[in-house]
């Protein structure tokens, strides 16, 4: 019962180009979405989030888009840098439940 799905296990992008990481969810009660970045042997670190009342949130090179009707969100990284190579987790929360539901992650590789 995956409520948060990241269907692409991996993504490879050239440095300087755009990286687009996708995430789908099934629970329409989710109202807050987050992206975490994880390097090997480290814990996930918070990257960017979006509330369900918005459809876009931007922070530097990172932009998250939310399409509530499609229950889909995406993370855009522009321009991609080799240091962005990591596993990216999408997570969702319902009404401040303090219980984030995570996707399986997408491994992004940015090639120099």
Partner 1 sequence: DTAVSQTPKYLVTQMGNDKSIKCEQNLGHDTMYWYKQDSKKFLKIMFSYNNKELIINETVPNRFSPKSPDKAHLNLHINSLELGDSAVYFCASSRLVNGGYTFGSGTRLTVV
**CA dist 48 → 30, 70, 81, 93 (Å):** 16, 20, 17, 14
Closest approach of partner 1 to the CB of residue 38, in Å: 8
**Of the candidate residues 21, 23, 34, 64, the single one contacting partner 1 (CB under 8 A):** 34
| Residue with Cβ nearer partner 1 (41 or 70) | 41
**Of the candidate residues 8, 15, 32, 79, the single one contacting partner 1 (CB under 8 A):** 32
Cβ neighbourhood burial of 8 (10 Å; 0-12, 13-18, 19+): middle
| Site map 41..80 versus partner 1, x via CB under 8 A | xxxxxx--x-x-----------------------------
* 18-26, 68-76, 78-86, 87-95 -> range binding partner 1 (CB under 8 A): 87-95
Q: Which residues of 48-65 are buried (b: 16+ CB within 10 A; e: fewer)?
A: bbbebeeeebeeeebbbb
Whether 111 and 13 have beta carbons less than 8 Å apart is answered as: yes
**Residues 42, 60: Cα–Cα separation, whole Å:** 23
Tell me: does residue 30 bind partner 1 (CB under 8 A).
no
**Residues 19, 60: Cα–Cα separation, whole Å:** 14
Closest approach of partner 1 to the CB of residue 13, in Å: 21
Q: Which residues bind partner 1 (CB under 8 A)?
A: 32, 34, 36, 41-46, 49, 51, 89, 91, 93, 96-102, 104-105
């Amino acid at each position: 019962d995956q409520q948060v799905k990241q269907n692409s296990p991996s993504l490879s992008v050239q440095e300087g180009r755009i990286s687009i990481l996708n995430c789908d969810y099934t629970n329409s009660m989710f109202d807050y979405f987050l992206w975490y970045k994880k390097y090997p042997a480290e814990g996930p670190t918070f990257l960017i989030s979006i509330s369900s009342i918005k459809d876009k949130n931007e922070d530097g090179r990172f932009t998250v888009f939310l399409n509530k009707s499609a229950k889909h969100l995406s993370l855009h990284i522009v321009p991609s840098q080799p240091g962005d190579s990591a596993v990216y987790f999408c997570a969702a929360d319902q009404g401040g439940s303090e219980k984030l539901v995570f996707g399986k992650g997408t491994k992004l590789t940015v090639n120099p």
